Amino acid sequence: MAIEKVYDLVSRGKAKLTPAAVQEALDAGFAPADILEKMITAMDVVGEKFKNGEIFVPEMLIAAKAMKKGVEVLKPHLASGAAGALGKVVIGTVAGDLHDIGKNLVAMMIESAGFEVIDLGVDVPAEKFVEAASADGVKIVACSALLTTTMPALEATVAALKAAGKDYKIMVGGAPINQEYADKVGADAYTPDAATAAKKAKELAC
Ligand code: B1M
């Protein structure tokens, strides 16, 4: 099945072959959200293999590259809104953390929901978040963290953003984050995935 091929290619890090397989799955009538879900599942399997010592960082990296290539094909099918109408969202992955696939998906869905997205990239120090968030029209600051070791950086970022005292909402997310942690650090919202993040951003901004 076309969608299983996508799963197989991403989990094996076949960046050159993945885009065509994603297109094939789309042509076969699979929903873009389901294809994306398959790719995320493939990354989960890659993560498990890494945890079990079956693969190492280079394999995780090539799987990430394959997923990124696949997402490029999916992007026009997932994103559709008129960017900018709802205000600005500053987004980034916190200091010390290089994971950006989830953050990029959140950025894409938020943009599609009608926001202008200012993407600060990965390994973003708290001060850089604060500086970018001080621009006119910033309604939301969205911080992603994928490592338990970067959760303190997320906490420090939220604290710095709150201390700046500006009128924006702070959203947090990423695999190790949950509602309890978001409440503890004083974020305005936690969401588990990109689609929910976009929905929540609209609620917070409107
Ligand atoms: Co890393 N890595 N990694 N890695 N990596 C994980 C996260 C890990 C769980 C793997 C494992 O051990 N099972 C583990 C973390 C363990 C932990 O802390 N609990 C881990 C580790 C240990 C590491 C290194 C320390 C390994 C090493 O060097 N020894 C190292 C750290 C580097 C650093 O950041 N300083 C490292 C490096 C890397 C690569 C660079 C090789 C690569 C990243 C490439 C890239 O992103 N450009 C990589 C990858 C690919 C992974 C896994 C396999 C996949 C991550 C991913 O992209 N998932 C990952 C295992 C896993 O996640 N299952 C793993 C798909 C993506 C769509 O999901 O990012 O979770 P995710 O995003 C989700 C949600 O979390 C949510 O929405 C998305 C879904 O819609 N979300 C938000 C994310 N941000 C959000 C923000 C929001 C709301 C929702 O609001 C603001």
Contacts of 165 (CB under 8 A, 6+ apart): none
**Boundary of a domain, candidates 30, 56, 82:** 82
Q: What does the pLDDT read at residue 157?
A: 98
**Boundary of a domain, candidates 66, 82, 98:** 82
Asked if residue 194 and residue 120 are part of one domain, the reply reads yes
CA-proximal residue: ligand 1, atom 22 (nearest): 147
**Boundary of a domain, candidates 67, 82, 97:** 82
Distance 35 CA to ligand 1 centre (A): 19
- Taken in order 160, 99, 102, 89, the sign of the CA dihedral is positive
Q: How many CB atoms lie within 10 A of CB 54?
A: 10
Number of domains in the chain: 2
Asked if residue 100 and residue 200 are part of one domain, the reply reads yes
The list of the chain residues with pLDDT below 50 reads: none
Q: What does the pLDDT read at residue 81?
A: 62
Give which of 103, 80, 89 is closest to 193, Cα–Cα: 103
Distance 161 CA to ligand 1 centre (A): 24
Q: What does the pLDDT read at residue 163?
A: 97
Asked if residue 151 and residue 65 are part of one domain, the reply reads no
Q: How many CB atoms lie within 10 A of CB 167?
A: 6
Q: What are phi and psi of 91, to 5 degrees?
A: -135, 150
Q: What does the pLDDT read at residue 113?
A: 87
> Measured between alpha carbons, how far is 182 from 191 in angstroms, rounded to an integer?
9
Distance 2 CA to ligand 1 centre (A): 26
Asked if residue 103 and residue 198 are part of one domain, the reply reads yes
- CATH number for the domain including 65? 1.10.1240.10
Q: What does the pLDDT read at residue 66?
A: 96
pTM of the full structure: 0.95
Asked if residue 95 and residue 78 are part of one domain, the reply reads no
- CATH number for the domain including 171? 3.40.50.280
Domain that holds residue 68: 2-82
> Measured between alpha carbons, how far is 170 from 185 in angstroms, rounded to an integer?
11
Q: What does the pLDDT read at residue 112?
A: 84
Asked if residue 90 and residue 6 are part of one domain, the reply reads no
Asked if residue 133 and residue 58 are part of one domain, the reply reads no
Asked if residue 136 and residue 111 are part of one domain, the reply reads yes
Q: What does the pLDDT read at residue 29?
A: 96
Distance 150 CA to ligand 1 centre (A): 11
Query: Is 174:104 a contact under the CB 8 Å cutoff?
Result: no
> Measured between alpha carbons, how far is 53 from 64 in angstroms, rounded to an integer?
18
Task: Give me the half-sphere count of Cα atoms (radius 13 Å) on the Cβ side of residue 30.
Answer: 21
Tens digit of each residue's pLDDT (9 = 90 or more) over 188-206 = 999 999 999 999 999 999 8
Asked if residue 50 and residue 7 are part of one domain, the reply reads yes
CA-proximal residue: ligand 1, atom 45 (nearest): 99
Asked if residue 99 and residue 70 are part of one domain, the reply reads no
Q: Which residues line ligand 1 (CB under 6 A)?
A: 40, 43-44, 46-47, 50-51, 57, 60-61, 63-64, 96-103, 105-106, 142-144, 146-149, 171-176, 191, 193-194, 197
Q: How many CB atoms lie within 10 A of CB 92?
A: 25
Q: What does the pLDDT read at residue 143?
A: 98
Q: How many CB atoms lie within 10 A of CB 34?
A: 11
Asked if residue 48 and residue 125 are part of one domain, the reply reads no
Which residue of 37, 48, 56, 60 sits with most ligand 1 atoms within 8 Å of its CB, as the best mutation to test the pocket?
60
Distance 168 CA to ligand 1 centre (A): 27
Q: What does the pLDDT read at residue 83?
A: 63
Instruction: Name residue 31's beta-bridge partners.
Output: none
Asked if residue 100 and residue 194 are part of one domain, the reply reads yes
> Measured between alpha carbons, how far is 53 from 21 in angstroms, rounded to an integer?
28
